[in-house]
Structures are given as C-alpha cells and as structure tokens.
C-alpha cells in the first residue's frame, strides 16, 4: 500500500517483535517500504519465512530471527545476531503479544507468569537489549504495544489487560530515563484490528455490530492503519513526541 516516505528511515536498523503475522507483519512491510533494514523476531517459522521471501523478491533488506520472546536468553541472542548483521539497532517496535482469553477463577500462578511473560516482560528486556545502541548513537525510538481493552473495561482477560495497562508505566519510565540521550519511547494502543487471528478466533457477527456501534469510523480497522502510525512515530517527523500513549481505534467510545 502506498503511503508517506520518511527519508530518515532509509538504511535505519529497525527491530520488530512478533513480525511474522498480524499487525507485526504490516509493520515489517511498512518499514521495508521505507527501505529500512528491518529485522523481526517471531516464534512462527513458516509465515515468517514466507514474508522474508516475499520482501526479498521486492529487494528489501529484511531478516528473521526465530526465538520465543518469553525466553529472555533467546531474546538477547536474537538481538545480538540482528546487531551483528544489520549494525546498531536504533528503532524497536515491541509488538508481540498473545491475547488468549482466560476466566479469572481458572488462572493459576504459573499461567499468570506465562501471560505476563508473553504480553509484558519481553517489552522491557528487548528495550534493555537495544538501549545501549541508542545511547551510543545519541538517538533512537521505541514503540511499545498496549491495547484499548483495559480502557474499555473488557472482561475475560484480566491478566492480558493488566499487562497492557502496565505498558504505559514502562513507557513513561523509559522515556524519562533515556530522554537525555534523545531516545523517544511511546506506546500505541490499537482498538479492534481485523487480523487473520482475530478473524479466526474472535470476530463474530455480534462482535462486528458492537464494533460498528462503538466506533466513530464505521469500518474495520486493518493492520496497515496501525503500521502507518508506528512508522511515523519512529521517524524523525515525530521528533518531539515521547512518553505518550497514542490510541489508534477509529474513535471507540
């Protein structure tokens, strides 16, 4: 899809987590359009390899590292490999998550930890792994992924919404600590985005009606709606934006 081109993103090393499918895939494609050197980490090999093949055919500089982001040692190794291949990482998009529903009464302490690990913990450790590159470069940008689900008081996923609201605190503290190095840290909170997984798992005719009633914009939002905004936030066009939480939800009120 055509869109704005930000010249500062050409040749920039960008790392996207969860880039094989869904919104992450759209983000990887959007940075490839910017001619960035785009690397992504994911646990799903087949769609990741298909994406890399497709983008290589288009001449993009793209690289996939397979890792489970809940394994922090594996995450660190993947970041080191990306750095070795593409040079210092000055842009990070912490996109990966897993929105499995869970009934409060069924959640064990082990499940709590597992849900936090897949929805929150890796965002901190991915940032920790790339921040030295950003401070050395005297500049960088991080986008963390939140969700409007906690703002709308969505039920059936209390651990997920706890993790997604915590992303705001993480974002603000990192922005404070690294602002003196010209590193910007923001959060993006998507509304309901029609990804392949949402279509397969959660979208129903009743849900669609609820979405159309709640949103000011009367259409499904798609991954590219979010990806375009993420690319803008990482680019120098957003040079004064940090420590903020931006909602991309078509006006869900």
Ligand X SMILES: NC(=O)c1ccc[n+]([C@@H]2O[C@H](COP(=O)([O-])OP(=O)(O)OC[C@H]3O[C@@H](n4cnc5c(N)ncnc54)[C@H](O)[C@@H]3O)[C@@H](O)[C@H]2O)c1
Q: Where are the beta strands (DSSP E) in the chain?
A: 13-17, 37-42, 61-66, 91-94, 140-145, 183-190, 245-248
- Residues 6 or more apart whose CB falls under 8 angstroms from that of 106 comprise none
Q: How far is the CB of 132 from ligand X (least distance, A)?
A: 22
Residue 96 in the binding site for ligand X (CB under 6 A):
yes
Residue 229 in the binding site for ligand X (CB under 6 A):
no
- DSSP H helical segments within the chain, as ranges? 22-33, 45-57, 72-86, 109-116, 122-136, 158-178, 196-201, 205-214, 223-234
Closest CA to 31 of 6, 56, 67, 65: 6
Residue 70 in the binding site for ligand X (CB under 6 A):
yes
Say whether 246 is catalytic: no
CA distance 217 to 238: 25
Contact pattern from residue 112 through residue 151 relative to ligand X, giving x for each residue in contact according to CB under 6 A and a dash for the rest: ------x--------------------------x-x----
Closest to ligand X by CB, 35 vs 197, is 197
Please identify which residue in 12, 14, 16, 21 interacts with ligand X, judged by CB under 6 A.
Answer: 21
Please identify which residue in 98, 112, 124, 125 interacts with ligand X, judged by CB under 6 A.
Answer: 98
Closest to ligand X by CB, 11 vs 207, is 207
- Residues 6 or more apart whose CB falls under 8 angstroms from that of 116 comprise 159, 162, 163
Closest to ligand X by CB, 65 vs 133, is 65
Q: How far is the CB of 57 from ligand X (least distance, A)?
A: 21
SS3 (DSSP) at 221: strand
Residue 231 in the binding site for ligand X (CB under 6 A):
no
Closest to ligand X by CB, 76 vs 197, is 197
Please identify which residue in 54, 61, 99, 100 interacts with ligand X, judged by CB under 6 A.
Answer: 99
Q: Is the CB of residue 125 less than 8 Å from the CB of residue 92?
A: no
CA distance 142 to 201: 29
Residue 192 in the binding site for ligand X (CB under 6 A):
yes
Contact pattern from residue 23 through residue 52 relative to ligand X, giving x for each residue in contact according to CB under 6 A and a dash for the rest: xx----------------xxxx--------
Quote the crossing angle between the two packed helices 122-136 and 72-86, to the nearest 10°.
30
Active site residue ranges: 160
Chain positions contacting ligand X, by CB under 6 A: 18, 20-24, 41-44, 68-70, 95-99, 118, 145, 147, 190, 192-193, 195, 197-198
């Amino acid at each position: 899809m055509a869109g704005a081109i930000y010249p500062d993103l050409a040749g920039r090393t960008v790392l996207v987590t969860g880039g094989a499918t869904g919104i992450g895939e759209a983000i990887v494609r959007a940075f490839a359009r910017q001619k960035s050197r785009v690397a992504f980490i994911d646990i799903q090999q087949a769609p990741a390899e298909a994406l890399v093949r497709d983008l290589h055919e288009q001449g993009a500089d793209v690289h996939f590292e397979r890792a489970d982001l809940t394994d922090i040692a594996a995450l660190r190794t993947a970041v080191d490999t990306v750095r070795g291949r593409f040079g210092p990482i000055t842009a990070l998009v912490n996109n990966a998550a897993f929105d499995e529903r869970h009934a409060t009464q069924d959640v064990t302490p082990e499940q709590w930890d597992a849900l936090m690990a897949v929805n929150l913990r890796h965002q901190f450790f991915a940032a920790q792994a790339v921040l030295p590159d950003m401070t050395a470069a005297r500049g960088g940008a991080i986008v963390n992924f939140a969700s409007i689900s906690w703002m709308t008081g969505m039920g059936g996923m209390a651990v997920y919404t706890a993790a997604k609201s915590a992303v705001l605190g993480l974002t603000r503290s990192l922005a404070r600590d690294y602002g003196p190095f010209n590193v910007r840290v923001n959060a993006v909170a998507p509304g309901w985005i029609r990804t392949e997984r949402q279509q397969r798992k959660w979208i129903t005719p009743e849900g669609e009606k609820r979405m159309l009633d709640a949103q000011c914009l009367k259409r499904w939002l798609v991954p590219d709606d979010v990806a375009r905004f993420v690319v803008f936030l990482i680019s120098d066009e957003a040079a004064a934006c940090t420590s903020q939480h931006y909602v991309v939800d078509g006006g869900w009120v």
